[in-house]
Amino acid sequence: MANENLIEIKNLVTHYITDDGVVEAVNGINLSIKKGESLGLVGETGAGKTTTALSILRLVPDPPGKIISGEIIYNGEDLLKKPIKEMRKIRGGQISMIFQDPMTALNPILTVGEQIAEVVRQHNDVTRAESHQRAVEMLEMVGIQGERAHEYPHQFSGGMKQRVVIAIALACNPHFLIADEPTTALDVTIQAQVLEMISELQKKLGTSMMLITHDLGVVAETCEQVAVMYAGEIVEYGTLEHIFNHTSHPYTEGLFGSIPSLDKSVTRLKPIKGLMPDPSNLPSGCSFHPRCEYATDLCAERCPVDTEIEPGHIVRCLKFEDGRHGEW
Amino acid sequence: MIRYILKRLVLMIPVLVGVIFIIFTINYISPGDPLVDILGIEASAEQRAAKAHELGLDQPYLVQLGNYIWGIFTRLDFGTSYRTNRPVRDEVLERFPTTLLLTSLITCLSVPCGLTFGIVTAVFQNSILDYVVTFIALAGASMPQFWLALMLMLVFALTLGWFPAIGFDTPRHWVLPTIACGMLPISTLTRNVRSSMLEVIRQDYIRTARAKGLGELKIIFKHALRNALIPIITVIGFQVTSAMAGAIVAEQIFSIPGMGALLISSIKSKNYPSIQGNILWMGLMASIINLIVDLAYAYIDPRIKAQFTRRKAKATKKTAEAKAV
């Protein structure tokens, strides 16, 4: 049972269909997360991380967003085939999400207590008073005095608001938590606190987590599995050890090259040259090839497929196909 | 809060003095002579001079203005109507209930209709329903009020005979004027509510509400509508004010004995005190409606309420400091 996947994403494709063309945000990703495990989803802005997360909850804004194909298996059932009524029972109750921007994620005209109590009432058979009691408990759990429950979002600082958002997400003891850049909007000092809090709560409640971030340091601290996303695809997937010590995909390499290291002395960081491709106009073949320093002519023609280079370590790069092991 | 209301009420005084000044000056400098209307065209120069002296029209501008304002603030005397020789105050207060009733009816019709149509068109954006309602709203906003009033009269009073065409005595009389005046506010509100709702529905906190697993009705009424109402309240306040003043056309067409009818006849006959009294009363009503709108903001939006309480907290702190000194 311990090895059973709590959630499994198979070949998920999500596009935004606009008048100016189709934005290919997520292009066939495969992921699985076991019970109690955390997965870090890493990538640049616009790589499709948030769209992936919203797809799981079926909250991609429609129009223009559309989940084109794929399966999201949760507890043996495909979420994409569920009627909306059952989906609502899962949202907030079993799967919940911490949103990216705490400044706008809270309703400005409802007290924070009510915003937490509301989700408790939605998924549990409790009275109004009990739900507010739970809201106060949740606030205290995330380090806010319980008596502030009757205050409004504008009376809280950014970090405090993020804590409230976390309290909402955890109020119903979810089985699966999606944390979408929970620390991006926060000061560095608060970042560490919030991350520590999430990990602690996650361990206490036995929740699985998908942590979306562009910060590899955060991933190293909190996650066991890592998926690196580029232009709507997962280009490298494996354990923390695989990604950090056996870095294989050129893009992942580039990511590590662009953060400062403590044990190597380099005068200049090496950023990945070029920009993220426009998702409504992706390059042919491997979508990373225009920026890749190992690219060959073949890369512009053939789309790479997932290759398992060691047990549990999957790379999507032509360099590793046909038993090449990274050598051309 | 009470402190704030009192402060706003006191601040109305300079606003109303400003209204008096403007309307008095316009009357003073506008061409035409009220004496012609009062005494007739054949009156002699002596008769005119005597009447002008009696009404105080021979005095300098500033003296006249000063006397008028002094009368209002000391005796609540708004002057005497040239035509009827009765106090303007009594005449206005006699007519006001009719106008207030018409305004209330228009508001009671337009606010629920406008909100409903606005919400429906926003929630079912780009559906057939949205297109149809939006088209009707656009038509309603483009139709001149007097034309609509005449058409309603023609169809429902003359041809079908369902409602009386003129007068304002029984509820049956109220129907046509209310619809004629309500059409424009309904259309304006519908379009405002629609755009405001669409704006709010796109906000992140609506997505948060969805992620909580709430049902659509709860999302729309609890989370979206209350936020969307904040800009809408301004529109409603403006609608009520303009319904009060704008009923003039309908009052003329449907022969309703309201303030609008009185104002028009006063303007025609250069009945200065009556014009001033009417306008001043409308100004007072507009100020009160604005105050109600501001208070409604505070009721809906805790951020605005916080400003009131903060101001109060500051004030109590100041008095405490003053006492300490």
Contact criterion met (CB below 8 Å) for B226 and B300? yes
Reduced to 3 states (helix: H, G, I; strand: E, B; else coil), residue A86 is helix
Note whether A89 contacts B: Cβ–Cβ < 8 A: yes
Work out the end-to-end distance of chain A between its first and last CA atoms, rounded to an integer number of angstroms: 41
pLDDT of residue B271: 84
Residues of A with Cβ-Cβ distance to B205 under 8 angstroms: 104-108
CB < 8 Å to B306, chain A: 152, 154-155
Is residue B77 classed exposed, middle or buried when 0-12, 13-18 and 19+ CB atoms within 10 A define those classes?
middle
> Measured between alpha carbons, how far is B251 from B263 in angstroms, rounded to an integer?
11
| 3-class SS letters over A124-176 | CCCCHHHHHHHHHHHHHHCCCCHHHHHCCHHHCCHHHHHHHHHHHHHCCCCCE
Inter-chain touch B303–A96, beta carbons under 8 Å: no
Closest Cα partner for A153 from B5, B145, B227?
A: B227
Q: Which tokens is A294 given?
A: 């190992």
Interface of B with A in 142-201 (CB under 8 A): none
Order of strands, edge to edge, in the sheet holding A307-310?
A95-98, A176-180, A208-213, A38-42, A225-230, A233-239, A313-315, A307-310
**What is the nearest CA distance from B127 to chain A, expressed in angstroms?**
13
Chain B touched by A110 (CB under 8 Å): yes
Q: Do the Cβ atoms of A101 and B204 come within 8 Å?
A: yes
pLDDT one-digit tens code per residue, A70-109: 889 888 888 888 888 888 888 988 899 998 888 899 999 9
In the predicted model, residues of chain B with pLDDT beneath 70 are 246, 308-325
B306 interface with A at CB cutoff 8 Å: yes
Substitution target in A109, A154, A175, A177 with the highest count of B β-carbons within 10 Å is A109
Instruction: State the pLDDT at residue A2.
Output: 45
Query: Which pair of structure tokens corresponds to residue A310?
Result: 């060691």
3-state SS assignment for residue A182? coil
Report which DSSP code applies to B132: H
Mean pLDDT by 10 residues, chain A (328 residues): 74 88 87 88 86 90 85 87 88 89 89 92 90 90 87 89 89 89 77 81 84 86 89 89 87 84 73 82 85 84 85 87 68
End-to-end CA distance of chain B: 27
H and E: helices and strands count for chain A: 11, 12
pLDDT at B254: 85
- In sequence order, what are the residues at sequence separation of 6 or more whose Cβ sits closer than 8 angstroms to the Cβ of residue A9? A29, A30, A31, A32, A52, A56, A70, A71, A72, A73
Chain A partners of B302 at a C-beta cutoff of 8 Å? 108-109, 111, 152, 154
CB contact under 8 A, A59 and B210: yes
**How many of the other CB atoms lie within 10 Å of CB of B141?**
15
| Contact with chain B for residue A124, Cβ under 8 A | no
Q: How far is B274 from chain A (nearest CA, A)?
A: 46
Do residues B192 and B152 touch, judged by C-beta distance below 8 A?
no
Cα A117 from Cα A108, distance rounded (Å): 16
Q: Chain B within 8 Å of A93 (Cβ-Cβ)?
A: yes
Collect all residues of chain B within an 8 Å Cβ-Cβ radius of residue A105: 204-205, 207-208
Place of tokens 């340091």: A217
**Please, what is the Cα angle at B45 between B40 and B46, to 5 degrees?**
110
Predicted confidence at residue A207, as pLDDT, reads 87
**CB atoms closer than 10 angstroms to residue A114:** 19
pLDDT tens per residue, range B65-97: 888 888 888 888 888 888 888 888 888 888 888
Instruction: Mark residue A325 as left, alpha or beta (left: phi above 0; alpha: psi -120 to 50; beta: remaining).
Output: left
Length of chain B: 325
Q: Does A154 touch chain B (CB under 8 A)?
A: yes
Q: Which two tokens stand for residue B37?
A: 């209307």
pLDDT value of residue B319: 57
